[in-house]
Amino acid sequence: MANAMEIYQLLPKTNCKKCGKSSCMAFAAALLSREKNLDECTPMLEEKKYSENYTKLKGLVSPAEQASETGMIVHEDRCIGCGNCVVACPVNVAEDPKGAGSGNAPTNERVILKVEDGIVRLSNVEDCRRFGENKRLCSGCIVTCPTKAIEFV
Amino acid sequence: MERKYHVCTGCALLCDDIELREVENKTIIDSACRKGAAWIKNCQHPLECTVDAKDTTTQDAIEKAAEILKNAKNPLIFGMGNSSLTAQEKAIELAKKTNACIDDTSSFCQGPFVEAILNDKIKSCTLDEVRDKADVIVYWGCDPSNSHPRHLSKYSYFPRGKMRQRGWEEDRTAIAIDVRKSDTAIICEDDFHQIPPKADAEFAHALTDALSGKVPKVTFGMKPKEILELANVLKKAEFGVIFAGLGLVYSIPDISPMEKLLEVLNKKTDFHLMPMVGQYNMRGFNHTLFDQTGYINRVSFEGDDIGHGPQYSVVEVLKGEKVDAALIIGSDPLSSLPGSIAANLKEIPTIVIDPCKTFTSQTANVTLPAAVTGVECKGEAIRMDGVKVTLKQMRKSDKMTDADIVEKIMEAI
């Protein structure tokens, strides 16, 4: 996934404020957190000289559009379904200590992560520590993934 | 609601918490890893019943197979790593009846370690003990993240166990010793020790020295401090386990460096070794043959006595052209053996029993499709740690089991 600076480099850098943000850098950060949509930068849509950069940016930010409400993306081509994230997730452990927390199949529906058909799937995202106003930068599922298939945007 | 769990036979971990659900006429497999899910879903190219590459009935193929084995003076029976315990027993019976050489993949795989465990030369433990007690886990020459995907999450590193309630973050240390930074080594982070190829014996000796109070020395530039620190972690373990992979087995001429290391470790603490068996019931075959003959593989039933030794391994008998027919059950020697040796298999009449098409089945004289045990039929198998597991049937199938096929061949002979 791209960072804010990479996105900024492709924006018009005119700080025209048409998008409602105070600067192009602020718009880049807003794009990354999915607060703003790329099409809200009207000069990029209207002016021909930005069309090449627009296509590049579309490619950069489109993976983030598939992310869950918490910003989590599971790269299905990389996931091997090992279940490391399932057993490491603190919410899974709290909700299902004997099942998911002990390395076994989840025994209830309150878990966030579970493996289906060999690929990890998300459910109950609102319980994720990265969700809501009091969100915390939990990285249990990221650091335990051997193939780096989990990413947050 | 009581849940109905199945056992996955995708690898020797035999995960026993697999659930199947029907959603819009599609079967969803819960909790199995990608490898297991692909195994359960079925093979892409199922094997057909053929004699000399022509489709035929099962009865004709069985008769032809019996004829080949009857006419052979000294056939080879090989494979059985993906067969149930019953099929393995029947295959051994067939070997006795036909004066055959019988061998499996363990003769060029984890055989030395399984043999040492069965002869009580090496201390081993079960995977459940690892989950409940282990605090120091060493992955030596193996990469379970790829070979046994759920190894770390279900048994060895991440889960909370009876005596390891705080799980991987505080209660366990994972160490990787490998020639490259594998996916498992990435998880071990700072506890990854990289050694050059073929240096495993030297490294094991250095660790033994460090544990015996000597200054460890290695020729490949690893500092004595690093080895001493590692030895210290091993020494302080309450319950340690070394998972030995093929990388370790292939690089040591014999297992004495590991025996020595475990001996020294067990004077100070409680340490175990477990071979990372690949095929789901390879250890089952070793146990079955060991119970009957006292040997785990490479056995010949030619003549009155039971012959055993490296000269009866699949590699040697094919290299020396000592066998005149071959029955391959659930294995693919053409792709797993060196080309020059496997090529000799083409010179002799071959029978293949397998659920899927393999390289070997494409050149075989007789092919007999079998049901996948644990998916299309039930059975029993022995997990990589020596625990017997009952396998349930997941879906209906009209295919014969490999045990029935071997039985029918025996009857026809």
Q: What is the CATH number of the domain that holds A93?
A: 3.30.70.20
Contact B79, B105 (CB under 8 A): yes
* Residue B382 predicted with pLDDT over 80: yes
Domain tally, chain A: 2
Flag whether B19 is in a domain. no
Residue of A75, A77, A79, A84 for testing the chain B interface, max B β-carbons within 10 Å: A84
pLDDT at A66: 64
User: Per the CB < 8 Å rule, is A114 touching B155?
Assistant: no
Same domain, A132 and A93: yes
CA distance B368 to chain A (A): 29
Domain ranges, residue A61: 4-65
User: Per the CB < 8 Å rule, is A105 touching B5?
Assistant: yes
User: Per the CB < 8 Å rule, is B158 touching A144?
Assistant: yes
Give the mean pLDDT of B181-198: 92
Strand order from edge to edge, sheet including B136-140:
B192-194, B173-178, B136-140, B240-244, B271-275
User: What is the C-alpha separation between A122 and A117, in angstroms, rounded?
Assistant: 13
User: Per the CB < 8 Å rule, is A79 touching B34?
Assistant: yes
User: Per the CB < 8 Å rule, is A82 touching B153?
Assistant: yes
User: What is the C-alpha separation between B217 and B210, in angstroms, rounded?
Assistant: 9
Give the mean pLDDT of B244-259: 92
Please name the member of B149, B158, B184 whose beta carbon is closest to the beta carbon of A81: B149
Same domain, B168 and B220: yes
Q: How far apart are the first and last CA of chain B?
A: 50
Same domain, B120 and B264: yes
Same domain, A12 and A80: no
Angle at B66 between CA B355 and CA B412, to 5 degrees: 105
Angle at A80 between CA A77 and CA A81, to 5 degrees: 120
CA distance B148 to chain A (A): 8
pLDDT at A1: 60
User: Per the CB < 8 Å rule, is B158 touching A103?
Assistant: yes
Residue by residue, DSSP assigns B338-394 as -HHHHGGGGGS-EEEEESB--HHHHH-SEEEE-PPBTTTB-EEEE-TTS-EEEEPP-
* Chain A, chain B: beta-carbon pairs less than 8 Å apart: 103
Same domain, B74 and B204: no
Tokens at B269, concatenated: 């603490």
CA distance A81 to chain B (A): 4
Flag whether B8 is in a domain. no
pLDDT at B43: 79
- The last residue of a domain, from among B233, B248, B275: B275
User: What is the C-alpha separation between A141 and B10, in angstroms, rounded?
Assistant: 25
Same domain, A61 and A104: no
Mean pLDDT computed over every residue of chain B: 91
Same domain, B174 and B123: yes
Please name the member of B38, B160, B183 whose beta carbon is closest to the beta carbon of A146: B183
Q: Which residues on chain A are in Cβ contact (under 8 Å) with B6?
A: none
User: What is the C-alpha separation between B238 and B133, in angstroms, rounded?
Assistant: 8
> Tens of pLDDT along B109-143?
888 999 999 999 999 999 999 999 999 999 999 99
- The last residue of a domain, from among B275, B304, B328: B275
pLDDT at B65: 93
CATH code of B80's domain: 3.40.50.740
User: Per the CB < 8 Å rule, is B146 touching A80?
Assistant: yes
* Residue B235 predicted with pLDDT over 80: yes
Q: Which residues on chain A are in Cβ contact (under 8 Å) with B3?
A: 105, 107
pLDDT at B264: 94
- The last residue of a domain, from among B224, B248, B275: B275
* Residue B310 predicted with pLDDT over 90: no
Q: For residue A64, name the pLDDT band (cuts at 50, 70, 90).
A: low
Domain tally, chain B: 2
pLDDT at A39: 84
User: Per the CB < 8 Å rule, is B31 touching A114?
Assistant: yes
Q: For residue B303, count other CB atoms closer than 10 A to its CB.
A: 8
User: Per the CB < 8 Å rule, is B145 touching A82?
Assistant: yes
CA distances from B152 to A85, B105, B127, B134, B161 (A): 11, 25, 11, 12, 13
Same domain, A28 and A90: no
User: Per the CB < 8 Å rule, is A147 touching B30?
Assistant: no
Interface of B with A (CB under 8 A): 3, 5, 17-19, 28-38, 131, 145-146, 149-150, 152-155, 158-161, 167-168, 183-184, 186-187
Same domain, A31 and A81: no
Strands B136-140 and B240-244, sheet pairing: parallel
Domain ranges, residue B258: 111-275
Instruction: Please identify among residues 112-141 of chain A the ones whose CB lies closer than 8 Å to any CB of chain B.
Output: 114-119
Please name the member of B5, B28, B160 whose beta carbon is closest to the beta carbon of A102: B160
Same domain, A77 and A115: yes
Same domain, B162 and B55: no
By C-alpha distance, the chain A residue nearest B5 is A105
Residue of B3, B17, B150 for testing the chain A interface, max A β-carbons within 10 Å: B150
User: Per the CB < 8 Å rule, is A101 touching B146?
Assistant: no
Give the mean pLDDT of A20-39: 84
Helices and strands per DSSP (H, E), number in chain B: 18, 18
> Tens of pLDDT along B313-358?
888 888 888 889 999 998 898 888 888 888 888 889 999 999 999 9
By C-alpha distance, the chain B residue nearest A88 is B158
Q: For residue B205, name the pLDDT band (cuts at 50, 70, 90).
A: very high
Spatial CB neighbours of B74, under 8 Å, sequence gap ≥ 6: B99, B100, B101, B302, B322, B323, B324
CA distance B28 to chain A (A): 6
| Percent of chain A scoring above 90 in pLDDT | 22
User: Per the CB < 8 Å rule, is B34 touching A80?
Assistant: yes
Could you report the predicted ipTM of this complex, rounded to two decimals?
0.86
User: Per the CB < 8 Å rule, is A105 touching B17?
Assistant: yes
